[in-house]
Amino acid sequence: MISEFRKKKLAKVFNSMDSNGNGVLSKADLEKSFESTIAIQGHKPGSPEYQSGYDKMVTEPWNDLAKMDSNNDGKITWDEFIAFYDKPESDPGLNQLIAGGGELLFLMVDAHGKGQISLPEFTAMNLVWQSDQAQADKTFAALDTNGDGSISKEEFLAHVKTFFFSDDPNAPGNLILGPV
């Protein structure tokens, strides 16, 4: 049984993906999020970067999310979403989805493709989820666990895993989408 704390974190994920706020996830939600992200990155429709981004941020994630659609109606409800995540940490399908989502989120934030996230990159994307610069700064500092001024891919992916599986309210990974 999934804990209430993990449900609160999953609600942040679900709500951040539900771009039109209608209570279900659809491919259109991913497309809207993609348009916002691609605008920040400056890639234009028709460019190779735009198409590659679309494939990575819409097509591939939707194919993964569609596994949650238990009634095959093209929409994922909160109940379907939470049922999919109510599995042990050892579940390979769940781990694959979380790892893929973490990779995608990292690529979205690592706008320059350096393999690490700088504070300005983190802030640009994170302010979409958080209310102010001070919270983004605090979150960045917590996620930069080795204190080198950037968040490596390894650090980030470890925090993503913590976000989805940990019941420790003080774990830094809980802050990825802002305070729980």
| pLDDT higher than 80, residue 130 | no
Cβ-defined contacts of 106-110 (< 8 Å, 24+):
106/153, 106/156, 106/157, 107/56, 108/37, 108/57, 109/156, 110/153
| pLDDT higher than 70, residue 50 | yes
Q: Are residues 127 and 55 in the same domain?
A: no
Band (pLDDT 50/70/90 cuts) for residue 123 is: confident
The phi and psi torsions of 88 (rounded to 5 degrees) equal -70, 155
**What confidence tens digit (pLDDT) does each residue in 139-149 have?**
999 999 999 99
pTM score: 0.83
pLDDT at 179: 83
Number of domains in the chain: 2
Band (pLDDT 50/70/90 cuts) for residue 57 is: confident
Q: Are residues 179 and 97 in the same domain?
A: yes
Q: Which domain holds residue 168?
A: 87-104+115-180
pLDDT at 76: 95
Q: Are residues 91 and 79 in the same domain?
A: no
**What confidence tens digit (pLDDT) does each residue in 145-173 have?**
999 999 999 999 999 999 999 999 999 99
pLDDT at 129: 63
Q: Are residues 45 and 33 in the same domain?
A: yes
User: What CATH number has the domain bearing residue 156?
Assistant: 1.10.238.10
pLDDT at 160: 94
